[in-house]
Structure 1
Amino acid sequence: MRQARDLQTERARRLRRNATDAENKLWQRLRSRSLLGFKFVRQEPIGPYTVDFLSRERRLIVEVDGGQHAGNAQDLVRDEWLRSHNYRVVRFWNNDVLGNIEGVL
């Protein structure tokens, strides 16, 4: 089990290093309790998944998606699994984050 956790941690680190422009822009606005005092972490492993941003205290997951996620059936399965574990999931398109960050926040 430890090896699986180590693999998830390494994947999360890799995703943090290779974040998209939209993820970086949103992270700058979420980090250091900048949004209403809520703490967010990024690229956090939860079960078999790694989520973009997570507020643990609110059990809120924020996903930033590019075009490859349009109509993606795997995202529906993933979101349902997360909801079944009492997380709320909100998704924003990259272009919304890049062009309307205030609206996203």
Structure 2
Amino acid sequence: MRQRPIDHFIVDFYCAAPKLVIEIDGESHFTQEGQMYDLERTRVLEGYGLRIVRFMNREVMNDFEEVCGQIEELIPPTPL
């Protein structure tokens, strides 16, 4: 997982196999303009068949293990 350009966006984290985009949202995402931008961005990315999951910065900083657990639930197990 790492940053990756998709269309004209750079997503925070991208995991190709499960087609999962993970976004970490800071304060700029909570303005009206930021929320409208995120809605359009999500619409475009979902058009490529991607799933988008968002976490707030403070969630990642204060409850990292919980965030990781939620992400793990979104990724199917790898066949042995």
Same fold (TM over 0.5): yes
Higher-strand-fraction structure: 2
Matches within 5 A, 1:73-84: 73-84=36-47
Residue type at the aligned position of 1:56: A
Cα shift readout 1:16-74 (whole Å, capped 9, x = no counterpart): xxxxxxxxxxxxxxxxxxxxxxxx1x220011111000000110000001111014200
Q: TM-score, normalised by structure 2?
A: 0.77
Find the aligned partners of 1:51 and 1:88 in 2 and give their Cα distance: 12
Task: Count matched residues.
Answer: 65
Structure 1 runs of 4+ off > 6 angstroms? none
Once the two structures are TM-superposed, the CA of residue 84 in structure 1 deviates from its matched residue by 1.0
Unaligned runs of 5+ in 2: 69-80
Find the aligned partners of 2:67 and 2:27 in 1 and give their Cα distance: 17
Identity in percent: 37
State the match for 1:13 in structure 2.
Answer: none
Find the aligned partners of 2:26 and 2:9 in 1 and give their Cα distance: 17
Unaligned runs of 5+ in 1: 1-39
Q: TM-score, normalised by structure 1?
A: 0.60
Higher-helix-fraction structure: 1
Q: CA RMSD in A?
A: 0.8
